[in-house]
């Protein structure tokens, strides 16, 4: 990798750790977040203005924003808990948001050199791996994000043959995102960031469009 990175969702647990990790290994990191920059990923005009204001090319781009459920809500455990407004919000942040970023991203990627674009989705967005049920909105939003990433990878490859555009499962990570799940075994955000960057380092353009976990293993769709 060369040395210019863009991290969206830089205020989050994993996003901040990714910024620190990339910076430590010599990348110049551009950070975008709602908390620091008012970058609301669900707002098309804000996304466009922020992306148009950046100067590329970036060889590494990570989208690390996301919600499990709207503020004050929990993910559904049963069909009876489905709420249209909550579901729309989860889809807006986790699926439409990354799509809006990808819409403006090609112009910021190098045309010839290798670049990597990693969108943090989640293993629970895998339909093939879903044995537990529940979490309707989050699962559906991450599955939609996976499809958007895969589709974008096909289009981006037409003009940028060395671009690697992938969906990534970061593992179960100790961040505000998982604080309601104290019994789950979690890794630190630092460890997750290091894992993600190692996976990105190993991927080739032939891997573009794929869905990989923190060990670099493909995750079923
Ligand atoms: N933690 C895990 O175990 C785990 C597992 C699988 C997948 N993931 C995925 O990894 C990603 C990062 O998770 P995390 O653990 O780092 O979560 P986190 O600490 O809760 O951070 C979430 C990030 O999303 C941003 N965000 C939320 N709504 C937004 C909006 N409307 N516009 C822009 N940014 C928004 C937050 O920004 P502000 O704080 O600036 O508002 C924050 O930067 C998410 O996509 C999550 O689904 C996490």
Distance CA 167, CA 213 (A): 9
Whether ligand 1 lies within 6 angstroms of the CB of 42 is answered as yes
CA of 158 to the centre of ligand 1 (A): 30
Per-residue pLDDT of the chain (221 residues; tens, 9 = 90+): 459 999 999 999 999 999 999 999 999 999 999 999 999 999 999 999 999 999 999 999 999 999 999 999 999 999 999 999 999 999 999 999 999 999 999 999 999 999 999 999 999 999 999 999 999 999 999 999 999 999 999 999 999 999 999 999 999 999 999 988 877 889 999 999 999 999 999 999 999 999 999 999 999 99
Hunting for tokens 């990878």 — which residue is that?
A: 153
Q: Which of 13, 14, 70, 174 to mutate to test the pocket of ligand 1 (most atoms within 8 A of CB)?
A: 14
Distance CA 43, CA 87 (A): 17
Using only the alpha carbons of the chain, give its radius of gyration.
16
CATH number of 4-213: 3.40.50.720
Quick one: residue 135, left, alpha or beta (phi over 0 = left, psi -120 to 50 = alpha)? left
Whether ligand 1 lies within 6 angstroms of the CB of 37 is answered as no
- Backbone torsions φ then ψ of 6, nearest 5 degrees: -125, 125
Q: Which of 7, 12, 40 to mutate to test the pocket of ligand 1 (most atoms within 8 A of CB)?
A: 12
Residue nearest to atom 12 of ligand 1 (CA): 64
- Do the Cβ atoms of 47 and 39 come closer than 8 Å? yes
**Amino acid 1: pLDDT:** 47
Give this prediction's pTM.
0.98
**Amino acid 2: pLDDT:** 59
Domains of the chain, by residue range, sit at 4-213
CA of 26 to the centre of ligand 1 (A): 24
């Amino acid at each position: 990798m060369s040395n210019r990175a863009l991290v969206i969702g830089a205020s989050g647990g994993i996003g901040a750790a990714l910024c620190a990790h990339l910076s430590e290994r010599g990348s110049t990191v551009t950070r975008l977040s709602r908390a620091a920059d008012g970058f609301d990923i669900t707002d098309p005009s804000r996304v466009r203005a922020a992306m148009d204001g950046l100067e590329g090319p970036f060889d590494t781009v990570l989208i690390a924003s996301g919600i499990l459920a709207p503020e004050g809500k929990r993910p559904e455990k049963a069909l009876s808990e489905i709420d249209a407004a909550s579901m729309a919000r989860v889809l807006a942040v986790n699926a439409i948001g990354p799509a809006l970023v990808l819409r403006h991203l090609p112009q910021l990627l190098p045309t010839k050199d290798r670049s990597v674009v990693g969108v943090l989705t989640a293993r629970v967005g895998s339909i093939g791996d879903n044995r537990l049920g529940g979490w309707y909105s989050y699962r559906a939003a991450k599955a939609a994000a996976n499809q958007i990433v895969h589709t974008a990878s096909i289009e981006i490859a037409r003009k940028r043959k060395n671009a690697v555009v992938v969906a990534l499962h970061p593992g179960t990570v100790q961040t505000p995102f998982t604080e309601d799940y104290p019994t789950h075994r979690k890794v630190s955000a630092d460890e997750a960031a290091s894992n993600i960057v190692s996976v990105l380092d190993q991927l080739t353009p032939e891997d573009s469009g794929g869905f990989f976990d923190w060990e670099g293993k493909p995750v079923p769709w």
